[in-house]
Structure formats: C-alpha cells, structure tokens
C-alpha cells in the first residue's frame, strides 16, 4: 500500500507540476511526435485548414450531442425559391426532350439555352445586387435534382456555373472592379463561365498541375504592363466549348523577382475572356455519349495583365486555398443532387414497373427476388434525400464542412450507382434499349461521370474522408500538429504540453467508455427521443466512441504511415461516413414529423448502416498492423462480437409493397420526380399505367377469381379473359371499359423502342476530327 501510495504521489507530481511534466513527459513525446508526424505539403496543409468542422466533429469525438443535431433548423425554400420551382423550373422541364438532346442534336435547343440564361439558371448563387437570384443551397440543390430527373445533360449544364467556378470565386475573393465587370454578365447570361483545373498530368493530384504562368512585362491594349505569360493544356472542362470567360488555375513563377523575393509563388487563379488572343476553346469531349458541353482548353504564350488574377495581385499564390474552400461547398450540392435525383426517379419508376410488368401471371413486384432489390432502392433513396437535406442545411448555416461534403459526394454517388444497378436489373430489357421510352439509360451512363469528377471516389474514400477527418475533426491532433510545426520551439512545446494532457484524458475516456458501452451494449447511452428509433441513437453513440478510440490508436501507432495505409484509413472513413448518413436519416424522420409510413425505410436504413459500420470495423481489426492491439480494440469495442445484422426479409417486403402503393407516402419519397402530362412521355406513360392498374385492381381480382372457379377459361390472354368475364356477368360494361383502358396503358408502358433500317445511322460520332488532347 505504501509503495502504491508513493507511485501515485510521484505521478501526481510529474503530471501536476508543469515544469517537471514538460521535461520528463512532454519533451520526449514531443520529439517522437515530430518524427512520426506525417509530412504535409503546402497544398495538403491548406486543404486541412480549409473549411469548417461541424457534425462530423461530434461523431469523431465519441460523444455526439444528438439534441444539438435535432434542434438544428432544417433549411427550407423561401417564397421566391418555391415560385421559381413552380414556374421557371416547370417551364424548363416541359421544354426538354432528353432523347433528342442526347441522341440527335447532342446539345440543348437554342430556345433552352436562351431560357436558362434569361431566367437566371446560371446565376442562382450570385447576389441580387449583381442581378443574380441569390438562392440558398437547398434551393440550388432542389432545382438541380428536379432537372436531373428529366435531363441529366441539362442538370449538369445548370449545376456547373453554380458550383466551383468564376461566379463563386469572384464572390468570395474578387476585387470590386472584377465583380462589377463579370457578375452582371454572368447573371444575365451574356457571359458563360467555365473553370479549368484538371489536365492530362493532374487529375486527383490537382496540386501537381504543370500549367505555368511567368511574371513578366508585355503589351496589353497598346501599353507595356506587368503581367503573366501563360501556357496551359486542360481537359474535362464542363462548358468550355461554349464559355465566354475562362477561370484558369496555374502555377505562377517569378524568376526575375518582379513581385518580390519569392520565385515560386504557387497556384494562382485568373479570369480570362475566351476571346483573348491565344485562348483556345470550342473542341468537345464526348462523356459517355451525354450531351452536356465538356471539352479541353489550351493556351500557348498567352499574355494577360496582372490584375486578371482573381482577387488581384495580392491573391497571387493563394489559388489552392481559394479552390479547396469553395470546392467543399460545391461538392456538397452538385453531385449529391444528381445522386438524389437518381434515387427518386428509380424508386418511383421501379415501383410502377414492378406493379404493371407481369410474368407467370403475376406482377413481378410480388416475387421475393425483385422485392429484395426494391427494398435497397427505396431505403437508399430515403438515405439519399436525408443526406442531401442535412448537408445543404450546413451550407445554408454559412458553414463549409469539407469532411461532410466529401462524405456526401462519395457515398451519395455510390448509393446512386447501386440504386440504378438494381433498377436496371428489374427493368431488364426495358432498361437497356435506348429510345424515347427509356427513362433510366442516360442516368446509367452518367453514373461513372459523377463517380469520377470533383474528386474521384477512390481518392475521396481512401485519402480524404478519414485523412482530413483524423486531423480536422479530432479535438487535439490538428493543434498538436501546429505546435510541432511552430518555429519557436519553446512556444511549440508549451502549446503541445497543454494539448497533450487533454489528449491523454480524451484517450482514456474513450478506452474505458468503449469498454463499458461494449459490455452493456450501449443500453445506458442517452437518446433525445423515445419510441422505435431510440435504440439507434444509443448504438450510434457507441460506434462513435469506438471510432474515436480506433482513430487515436491508429495515429499513435502508425503516425505518418497512416497516410499510406489507405485501406485502413478508408475503413475508418466508412465508419465515420455511415455514422453521418445514419444521423441524417434520423434527423429527417424527426424533421418530417415521425411519419409512420416512413418507419420501414428508417428501420431498414439504420440497420443496414449499422451492419456496414460493423463490417468496416471488422476489416480494420483484421488488417491492423499490431495483431495484439487489434485484438485488444476488438475486445474492448465488441466484447461479445459484432452482432449487427442486415434488415429482415419482412422489412424489405414492406418497402417493396410501399413502392407499389400510390399515395402520399410514395409521393413524399419521390417528390423530386417530374411527371410530364405529355401522352408520349416515358415517365408519364408509366405513371398513368401504374395508377390505372391500381385503380382497376379490384376488377382484375374478379376476373382472376372467376378463372380459378372455372367460370371463365384459364391460361388465356388477359384481354380475352376481360371479354369472357363481361359475357359471363363477372364484370360490368363500365368495369370492362376501365380495365381495357388500364391494360392498354400497361401494354404501352412496357414497350421498348425500335427503329427502322437506316434511322440510327448518323447518330454516332465520326472518327474524323477526333484527336487526343495531347495531340491537339
């Protein structure tokens, strides 16, 4: 006892007296920390420092404040935004024929382009003071989503000017003169913007762009001025073929020291009129056959004045920070909006198709194999919309949460891919034959595009989500890294010492907290609600605590190697991401008034997300370098094993049945889908056939019952059965007419397009005139 008491006293002195602690504990650890600290390039540091920490920080720290999340007011459309949706957007949707756009003209009609420009579709984020719409993030997202259910090519065209590009960069960083020069034109459509970042040698590694600008003197408008001589070769630039103003990212160098002592100034962004001598635009890429404008841009020895730098000369070299700060917001709106639209359209049309399509005398939606895929479609659509709404809520709060938007971009495009795969499987031949009657094909072609752009998904999952989250969301690590990088060693040690004590306490709390929650199954965790979703809050808090513990141990034991252990990082990123998606799902359920009809979607989604969290943890434990520590972590977090299960077949059947039941619940799940009143529109035809068949279901049952009773013949075409049923008095003349009409609509809805010989010729791309970007 005396010995133990002496040890406790010694520890108290060592940790309690700052000077002793710093010399005996902090200083040695500080030296080790500097050695294991992952090396950060300037671009990586700027990416780490950019953006805000929001709900991702709560999840990462192991003790999420659920009440704080639920009390966050969801972003809603204001009166002007709703009116724009009801009027301009509806008018636009009725103007679009996506089959003609993609397969015949390979561009939108002139009247559509004129309408987009005149009505401010390209100016949704520009302030009203400059003639813009000044819409919220939720409006931007909702408008793009709704357009995407009608035409992906048009949605992308609208999306890009309202995402990362000249408009957003000007609003945040432009000089007053630049704003006055460009924003009114961008608002009224006389200027069409594009932004060129990606090139042949720099895709995901945007910091490695070889495009170069040299500070020098040159002639501009008849006078010698200080400026930049540029050379660039960019590709995959949306709107470049039709742009009038080019936003350009390049590396700026000053070999003669005309701006100061620094020779390599860094990544810089400039605005250049495409009519400027030497700028080349107009060539087009052909992104998987879709019709949105996308192409390369080139420039050789193009001289521009220095004040064309966005923000003016003072912002030379600050381009990368500008880009990552703006990209995090755009990434949370654009591609998540497309992914959500995919879910809405797939859910509404697959439910309808599964009801009207018959095989073996039954609607195919009654077969369990079809129901399994439909359950995934419905549940993932609920999660997609939940995540869309939560993410834009953060953006409308004025935040720019880089980790959250990376989660949204990656997981929402991946879920869209899975949803569309299931929808294509169920539609089968209806889904794979292109033509005016195919409402899935263009979305299917667009999925790889969404997966690729704005940070390729492999990069986003393996390097960004946990890579940034581990430092930005952790309460102490980023501060410790800054302390280690402090050129004043004494000041750095002092800051590190203060953080280290808190970090040790944080780690101990997570260890013992995880153990307690593992032993008790999280039953003592708090929940902000009662009822059927209460248990999910408890389990998500438990998994949050486990994530915090594993993240700390990983950073401690692997240090700089963790950045290279991409698969380990990705698995912890999956835990964080699924926690976020689950949070969004629970918040939506509460925000929308706990709709009973939504419970199957909520239960299925939460159970699946918890199962995937368990899978991610299991993969992390199985591949962690220290087998001893992996075993310890697994026993602490899951002392009785990982017991999360996939949702039951019964729950999946409930969702499948809901998708085949018209009404308010189905309309709320798929409210973004545009259903045209045009008698030949594919979506409208399928919707009308579905509604007609459901309305005639009672009549159909009478005929089937009569067939089973032998009153009318079995195994004959259903049209004949209708007539025999009328003759036998099984149905009335009015009922016969109603079900004839329903059958005619059903037959029209399940048709696919076919073309006469010679019609398809000329709809492809000639090999003449095609060339590689590098050759061009």
Per residue in 733-742, pLDDT (tens digit) is 999 999 999 9
Does residue 8 have a pLDDT over 80?
Answer: no
Residue 436 pLDDT level (bands cut at 50, 70, 90): very high
Q: Among 144-153, 333-342, 530-539, 706-715, which stretch is predicted with the lowest mean pLDDT?
A: 706-715
* Domains, the chain, ordered by start: 1-35 (no CATH), 36-68+461-648 (no CATH), 79-188 (1.10.540.10), 193-326 (2.40.110.10), 331-455 (1.20.140.10), 696-749 (no CATH)
Determine the average pLDDT of the residues in 502-522. Answer: 90
Contact by Cβ (8 Å): 167, 123: yes
Does residue 45 have a pLDDT over 70?
Answer: no
Determine the average pLDDT of the residues in 403-415. Answer: 94
- The closest alpha carbon to 651, from 599, 613, 612, 614, belongs to 599
Residue that is written with structure tokens 């950060």 in the block: 40
Determine the average pLDDT of the residues in 608-635. Answer: 96
pLDDT at 456: 87
Q: What is the pLDDT of residues 252-279, one digit of tens each?
A: 999 999 998 899 999 999 999 999 999 9
For CA atoms 109, 112, 118, 122, give the dihedral sign.
negative
Determine the average pLDDT of the residues in 173-182. Answer: 95
Determine the Cα–Cα distance for residues 322 and 66; give it in Å rounded to an integer: 33
Does residue 773 have a pLDDT over 50?
Answer: no
Determine the average pLDDT of the residues in 637-653. Answer: 97
DSSP code string of 436-480: TT-SSHHHHHHHHHHHHSSS-HHHIIIIIIHHHHHHHTSSSHHHH
Annotated catalytic residue 454: yes
pLDDT at 165: 80
Residue 343 pLDDT level (bands cut at 50, 70, 90): very high
Residue that is written with structure tokens 């075409």 in the block: 717
Residue with the bigger pLDDT between 727 and 38: it is 727
Does residue 776 have a pLDDT over 50?
Answer: no
Residue 124 pLDDT level (bands cut at 50, 70, 90): very high
pLDDT at 762: 63
Determine the average pLDDT of the residues in 628-651. Answer: 96
For CA atoms 528, 333, 109, 756, give the dihedral sign.
negative
Helix (H) or strand (E) holding 421, with range, is helix 402-427
Alpha-carbon distance values, 92 to 106, 351, 699 (Å): 18, 26, 39
Question: Which residue of the set 81, 134, 168, 454 is catalytic?
Answer: 454
Determine the Cα–Cα distance for residues 304 and 277; give it in Å rounded to an integer: 10
- The closest alpha carbon to 618, from 637, 597, 646, belongs to 637
3-state secondary structure at position 413: helix
pLDDT at 23: 65
Helix (H), strand (E) counts: the chain: 34, 9
Determine the Cα–Cα distance for residues 209 and 249; give it in Å rounded to an integer: 8
Determine the Cα–Cα distance for residues 306 and 300; give it in Å rounded to an integer: 17
pLDDT at 775: 37
Residue 17 pLDDT level (bands cut at 50, 70, 90): low
- Range with top average pLDDT, 3-12, 33-42, 135-144, 354-363: 135-144
Determine the average pLDDT of the residues in 507-525. Answer: 93
Q: Which residues contact 241 (CB under 8 A, 6 or more apart)?
A: 281, 282, 283, 284, 293, 294, 295
Determine the Cα–Cα distance for residues 134 and 127; give it in Å rounded to an integer: 5
Determine the Cα–Cα distance for residues 166 and 173; give it in Å rounded to an integer: 10
Contact by Cβ (8 Å): 130, 179: yes
Determine the Cα–Cα distance for residues 329 and 51; give it in Å rounded to an integer: 9
Residue with the bigger pLDDT between 484 and 88: it is 88
Contact by Cβ (8 Å): 325, 50: yes
Alpha-carbon distance values, 161 to 144, 189, 276, 390, 660 (Å): 12, 11, 21, 23, 38
Determine the Cα–Cα distance for residues 323 and 156; give it in Å rounded to an integer: 20
Q: What is the pLDDT of residues 544-588, one digit of tens each?
A: 999 999 988 887 777 667 777 889 999 999 999 999 999 999 999
pLDDT > 70: percent of the chain: 90
């Amino acid at each position: 006892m005396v010995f133990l008491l002496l040890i406790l006293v010694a520890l108290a002195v060592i940790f309690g007296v700052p000077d002793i602690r710093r010399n005996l504990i902090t200083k040695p650890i500080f030296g080790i920390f500097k050695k294991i600290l992952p090396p950060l390039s300037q671009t990586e540091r700027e990416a780490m420092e950019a953006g805000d920490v929001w709900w991702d920080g709560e999840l990462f720290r192991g003790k999420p404040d659920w009440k704080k999340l639920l009390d966050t007011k969801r972003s809603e459309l204001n009166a002007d935004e709703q009116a724009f949706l009801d009027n301009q957007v509806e008018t636009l949707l009725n103007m679009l024929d996506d089959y003609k756009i993609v397969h015949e003209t390979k561009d939108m009609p002139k009247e559509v382009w004129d309408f987009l420009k005149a009505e401010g579709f390209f100016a949704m984020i520009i302030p009203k003071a400059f003639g813009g719409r000044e819409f919220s993030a939720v409006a931007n997202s909702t408008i793009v989503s709704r357009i995407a259910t009608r035409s992906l090519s048009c949605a992308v065209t609208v999306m890009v000017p309202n995402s990362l590009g000249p408009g957003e960069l000007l609003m945040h960083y432009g000089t007053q003169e630049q704003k006055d020069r460009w924003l009114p034109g961008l608002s009224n459509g006389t200027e069409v913007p594009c932004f060129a970042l990606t090139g042949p040698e720099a895709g995901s590694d945007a910091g490695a762009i070889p495009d170069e600008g040299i500070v020098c003197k040159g002639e501009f408008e008849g006078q010698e001025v200080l400026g930049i001589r540029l050379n660039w070769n960019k590709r995959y630039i949306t709107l470049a073929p039709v742009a009038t103003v080019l936003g350009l990212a390049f590396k700026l160098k000053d070999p003669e020291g005309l701006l100061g002592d620094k020779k390599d100034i860094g990544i810089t962004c400039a605005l250049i009129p495409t009519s400027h001598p030497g700028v080349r635009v107009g060539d087009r890429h052909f992104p998987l056959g879709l019709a949105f404008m996308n192409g390369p841009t080139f420039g050789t020895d193009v001289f521009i004045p220095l004040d064309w730098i966005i923000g003016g000369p003072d912002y030379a070299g600050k381009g990368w920070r500008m880009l990552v700060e703006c990209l995090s917001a755009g990434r949370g709106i654009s591609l998540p909006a497309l992914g959500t639209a995919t879910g809405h359209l797939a859910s509404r049309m697959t439910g309808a198709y599964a009801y009207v399509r018959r095989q073996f005398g039954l609607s195919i939606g009654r077969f369990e194999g079809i129901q399994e895929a439909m359950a995934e479609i419905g549940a993932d659509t609920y999660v997609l919309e939940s995540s869309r709404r939560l993410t834009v809520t953060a953006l409308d709060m004025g935040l720019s949460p880089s980790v959250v938007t990376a989660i949204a971009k990656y997981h929402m495009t991946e879920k869209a891919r899975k949803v569309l795969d299931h929808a294509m499987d169920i539609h089968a031949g209806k889904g794979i034959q292109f033509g005016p009657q195919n409402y899935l094909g263009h979305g299917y072609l667009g999925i790889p595009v969404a997966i690729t752009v704005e940070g390729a998904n492999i990069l986003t999952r393996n390097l960004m989500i946990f890579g940034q989250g581990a430092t930005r969301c952790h309460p102490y690590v980023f501060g410790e890294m800054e302390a280690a990088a402090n050129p004043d060693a004494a000041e750095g040690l002092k800051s590190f010492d203060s953080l280290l004590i808190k970090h040790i306490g944080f780690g101990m709390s997570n260890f013992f907290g995880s153990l307690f929650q593992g032993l008790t199954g999280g039953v003592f965790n708090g929940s902000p609600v009662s009822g059927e979703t209460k248990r999910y809050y408890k389990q998500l808090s438990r998994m949050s605590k486990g994530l915090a513990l594993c993240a700390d141990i990983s950073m401690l034991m692997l240090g700089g190697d963790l950045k290279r252990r991409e698969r380990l990082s990705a698995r912890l990123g999956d835990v964080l991401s699924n926690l976020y998606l689950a949070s969004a799902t629970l918040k939506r359920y509460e925000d929308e008034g706990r709709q009973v009809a939504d419970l199957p979607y909520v239960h299925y989604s939460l159970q699946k997300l918890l199962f995937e969290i368990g899978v991610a943890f299991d993969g992390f434990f199985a591949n962690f370098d220290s087998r001893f520590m992996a075993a310890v972590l697994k026993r602490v977090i899951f002392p009785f094993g990982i017991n999360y299960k996939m949702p039951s077949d019964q729950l999946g059947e409930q969702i499948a049945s809901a998708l085949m039941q018209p009404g308010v619940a189905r309309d709320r799940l798929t409210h973004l889908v545009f259903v045209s009143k045009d008698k030949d529109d594919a979506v409208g035809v399928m919707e009308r056939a579905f509604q007609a068949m459901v309305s005639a279901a009672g009549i159909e049952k009478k005929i089937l019952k009569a067939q089973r009773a032998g009153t009318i013949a079995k195994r004959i075409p259903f049209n004949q059965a209708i007539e025999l049923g009328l003759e036998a008095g099984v149905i009335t003349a009015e009922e016969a007419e109603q079900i004839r009409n329903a059958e005619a609509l059903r037959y029209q809805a399940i048709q696919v397009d076919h073309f006469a010989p010679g019609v398809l010729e000329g709809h492809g791309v000639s090999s003449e005139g095609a060339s590689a970007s590098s050759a061009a």
